[in-house]
Amino acid sequence: MLDKANILKLVQVKMPFGKYAGRLLIDLPEEYLFWFDKQGFPEGELGELMQLCLMLKIEGLDEVVQPLKRPQSFL
């Protein structure tokens, strides 16, 4: 679960639904991820990435991942 490819996906994959649709997974609020932790994460890769994101946020490591975000293009 904690490998380079998954960490990169946290700064590339956007939340596909819900209140924070369109937001990068690494930018999801911790409270939102805790809600999923109680209610159940989505099945598959999305759920696994959200769990990884929550784990990084709990440990304070999300700040280490933030610099990996690509600058937004204004074209």
Q: Does 25 reside within a domain? A: yes
Distance (Å, whole) CA 23 – CA 29: 10
Please give the pLDDT value at position 1.
61
Q: Does 61 reside within a domain? A: yes
Token readout for 43 is: 């099945």
Q: Does 74 reside within a domain? A: no
Whole-structure pTM over 0.95, yes or no?
A: no
Q: Does 17 reside within a domain? A: yes
* Structural domain for 52, as ranges: 4-67
Low-confidence ranges of the chain (pLDDT < 70): 1, 71-75
The candidate with the shortest Cα–Cα distance to 62, out of 50, 70, 54, is 54
Contact between residue 29 and residue 5 where contact means Cβ atoms under 8 Å apart:
no
How many domains, in total, are found in the chain? 1
Please give the pLDDT value at position 72.
55
